[in-house]
């Protein structure tokens, strides 16, 4: 099993109210987990947000913390509630009403990876599921909550940038109301998880870098944005989905020839986002 629940890089000086976090880029695949899976190594990585941790790793240089998962999404999904247990996978789990995520195999312990490919041949025990949640889910979310609280205390607000990637084919031109396929999709749960002003500024940061941006379609945000987005309390959560084809070969799960250029572009975007609303609260009050 992975020895750490997460990786956290703090800036030398905390100067931003933004907190960047990547819950799906973990790639520490335990050997015992791979042995139990019916999938090969490349297929089991298909739901991983590969290299997203590298795209956002300049955040600490711009004064913001950067939190990343250690474990892979196929092992444990940090963007799900801890009680989203799948009875079709976990022995003793009870069905709790209709949950479309759990029903499709995408609970906190996923039963499938991308395109509905089954991970296991059989079920896992409730004890094993609880062990994963206690060892990895709870520490990650405790750390995230602490980072947001610290930002809020210092700056009077906190902005969570929940960093993800999406398959190139995930966004159809016809479904977004745009003439061009979006390269970035911002999710604020249709205004429920973040102030419109904040989201406007984040959209402007990506658009200024020459990227096509859409909001909430088809990705409006899941557990993380729903849980941590409290705009009425000046805590905002925005999910960022990036088209994988911009920086990686999706079939091989390798960086493509544009990776370094796109990473440089992302540094400019991150710098702009990190500067949003980051005047310390005591100075703003003066």
Over range 164-170, report the average pLDDT. Answer: 93
Pairwise CA distance, residues 206 & 154, whole Å? 26
Q: What is the CA radius of gyration of the chain?
A: 19
pLDDT at 174 over 50: no
Would you place residue 178 in the very low, low, confident or very high pLDDT band (cuts 50, 70, 90)? low
**In this predicted structure, what is the pLDDT of residue 18?**
98
For residue 2, pLDDT beyond 60: no
Take residue 73 and report the two structure tokens written for it. 């999404």
pLDDT at 15: 96
Spatial CA neighbour of 247 closest among 260, 264, 265: 260
Pairing type for strands 6-9 and 18-22 reads: unpaired
What pLDDT digit, counting tens, does each position of 135-148 carry?
Answer: 999 999 999 999 99
| Mean pLDDT to the nearest integer, 24-50 | 94
pLDDT digits (tens, 9 = 90+) for 46-90: 999 999 999 999 999 999 999 999 999 999 999 999 999 999 999
pLDDT at position 282: 44
More confident residue, 7 or 181: 7
Contacts of 50 by beta carbon, 8 Å cutoff, 6+ apart: 25, 27, 165, 244, 248, 253
Half-sphere exposure of 89 (CA within 13 A, CB side): 23
Specify the pLDDT at position 180.
82
Count the neighbouring beta carbons within 10 Å of the beta carbon of residue 209.
17
Dihedral sign, CA of 90, 95, 101, 103? positive
Q: Do 184 and 243 touch, CB atoms closer than 8 A?
A: yes
SS (H, E, C) the chain: CCCCCEEEECCCCCCCCEEEEECCCCCCCCHHHHHHECCCHHHHCCCCCCCHHHHCCCHHHHCCCEEEECCCCCCCCCCCCCCCCCCCCECCCCCCCCCHHHHCCCCCCCCECHHHCECECCCECHHHHHHHHHHHHHHHHHHHHHHHHHHHHHHCCEEEEEEEEECHHHCCHHHCCCCCCCCEEEECCCCCCCCHHHHHHHHHHHHHCCCCEEECCCCCCCHHHHHHCEHHHCEEEEEEEEEHHHCEECCCCEECCCHHHHHHHHHHHHHHHHCCCCCCHHHHHC
With contact defined as beta carbons under 8 Å apart, do 105 and 112 qualify?
yes
State mean pLDDT over 91-112. Answer: 90
Residue 98 is predicted with a pLDDT of 79
What is the value of pTM for the model shown? 0.94
């Amino acid at each position: 099993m992975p020895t750490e629940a997460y990786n956290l890089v703090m800036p030398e000086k905390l100067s931003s109210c933004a907190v960047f976090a990547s819950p799906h880029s973990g790639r520490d695949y335990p050997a015992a987990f791979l042995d139990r899976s019916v999938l090969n190594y490349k297929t089991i990585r298909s739901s991983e947000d590969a290299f997203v941790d590298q795209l956002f790793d300049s955040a600490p240089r711009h004064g913001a913390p950067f939190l990343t998962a250690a474990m892979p999404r196929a092992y444990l999904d940090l963007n799900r509630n801890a009680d989203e247990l799948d009875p079709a996978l976990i022995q003793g789990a009870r069905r709790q009403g209709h949950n479309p995520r759990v029903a499709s195999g995408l609970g906190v312990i996923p039963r499938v990876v991308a395109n509905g490919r089954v991970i296991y041949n059989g079920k896992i025990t409730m004890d094993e599921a609880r062990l994963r949640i206690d060892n990895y889910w709870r520490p990650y979310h405790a750390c995230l909550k602490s980072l947001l609280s610290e930002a809020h205390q210092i700056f009077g607000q906190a902005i969570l940038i929940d960093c993800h990637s999406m398959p190139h084919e995930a966004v159809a031109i016809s479904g977004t109301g745009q003439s061009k396929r979006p390269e970035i999709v911002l999710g604020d749960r249709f205004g429920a998880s973040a102030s419109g002003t904040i989201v406007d500024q984040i959209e402007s940061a990506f658009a200024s870098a020459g990227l096509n941006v859409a909001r909430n379609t088809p990705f409006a945000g899941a557990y993380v944005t729903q849980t941590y987005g409290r705009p009425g309390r000046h805590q905002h959560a925005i999910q960022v989905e990036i088209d994988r084809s911009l920086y990686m070969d999706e079939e091989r799960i390798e960086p493509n020839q544009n990776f370094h250029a796109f990473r440089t572009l992302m540094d400019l975007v991150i710098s702009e986002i990190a500067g949003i609303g980051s005047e310390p609260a005591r100075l703003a009050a003066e």
